[in-house]
Amino acid sequence: MERVGFIGLGIMGKPMARNLLKAGFPLTVFNRSRAAMDELARDGAIAADSPMQVAQQSDVVITCVSDSPDVEAVVLGENGILAGGRTGMLYIDNSTIAPATSRKIYKALKAQGMDALDAPVSGGDIGAQQGTLSIMVGGDEAAFQRSLPILQAMGKNIVHVGAAGAGQVTKACNQIVVAMTVQAVAEALTLAKKSGVDPAKVRSALLGGFAQSRVLDVHGQRMIDGTFEPGFKLNLHRKDMNIVLQTGKELNLPLLGTAQVTELMNSLLAQGKGELDNSALITLYEFLAGL
């Protein structure tokens, strides 16, 4: 069984690492703050002093951190994964970052005889805990095959989409669709409310037809209840949207709807609502509608 290293024990990373332990993988962990490492150590993991040390003690190293600069620092920085790795090591990044950064890291590791996969996840903390994450993977086919027993311990719907960066592109597409569908549902339910029609009945009627979506189902209910516990936090979704828009700029691709919904997210963050679920977008529409 491969020795696995896991870096980044946050709201997603900690339960993912725990699922690797449950599946029997020998596990070395690193996290900037100590508490989460101690918790995993009590479950049988070895705590390391740096990403470099994790790499030295592992065949496969996984990261799950916040953004592109974090991944670059952990992989390419001082005491990083690249410094501790050797030929044959496989690096898997479960973070959501810029496709361009994933491609850069892939090349840096390949040049040292190591493999790399970008493998962002979707499904939230519940999916992480239950091991039911969707995982979108970019990279070489052999590396993907090698990663499968590990990814299957953390997720269910695991798709090899294409070459390095393709996993991040797919995640970007996912975030576009979710954000714009949330906006669609927010506009529709605000129109219903402002018209004096029960939004709950509208949601039910629409779920039976062509407007059906998981967002209408789950977020629509949250909007009707006015309960915005995350879920997926607005400040994280906004971070992902910035990646999408930056990627769009590099491609000279005008993402009109994506840009608009990101501007609305900016307003929600300005109002101090970044810790709320992204369905809280409806509160902005209700304000705009004088409700």
Task: Choose the binding region for its own copies from 23-31, 63-71, 166-174, 269-277 (rule: CB under 8 A).
Answer: 166-174
> Do 118 and 84 form a contact (C-beta atoms < 8 A)?
no
Binding status of residue 180 toward its own copies by CB under 8 A? yes
Q: What are phi and psi of 62, to 5 degrees?
A: -115, 140
∠ CA 178-179-182, nearest 5°, is 85
d(CA 49, CA 267): 40
> Do 99 and 172 form a contact (C-beta atoms < 8 A)?
yes
- By C-beta, is 40 or 178 nearer to its own copies? 178
CA nearest 258: which of 168, 266, 269? 266
**Binding positions for its own copies, 207-246, rule CB under 8 A:** 208-216, 218, 244
- By C-beta, is 212 or 227 nearer to its own copies? 212
Residues 103-142 as x/- pattern, contact with its own copies by CB under 8 A: -------------------xx----------x-x-x----
Find the length of the chain: 291
Look-up: residue for tokens 């496969």? Answer: 60
> Do 269 and 235 form a contact (C-beta atoms < 8 A)?
yes
Number of residues in contact with its own copies under rule CB under 8 A = 70
Catalytic annotation on 171? yes
> What angle separates helix 68-76 from helix 99-110, to the nearest 10 degrees?
10
d(CA 2, CA 20): 11
Q: Which is catalytic among the residues 14, 171, 233, 239?
A: 171
Look-up: residue for tokens 């977020």? Answer: 219
Residues 81-100 as x/- pattern, contact with its own copies by CB under 8 A: ------------------x-
Per-residue tokens: 8: 């980044």
Binding status of residue 290 toward its own copies by CB under 8 A? yes
Per-residue tokens: 52: 């470099």
Binding status of residue 270 toward its own copies by CB under 8 A? no
Among 22, 32, 107, 201, binds its own copies (CB under 8 A): 201
- By C-beta, is 141 or 210 nearer to its own copies? 210
Shortest Å, Cβ 157 to its own copies: 4
Which residues does the annotation mark as catalytic? 171
Residues contributing to the site for its own copies (CB under 8 A): 99, 122-123, 134, 136, 138, 157, 159, 161-163, 165-166, 169-170, 172-174, 176-181, 183-185, 187-192, 194-198, 201-202, 204-206, 208-216, 218, 244, 247-248, 251-258, 260-261, 264, 288-290
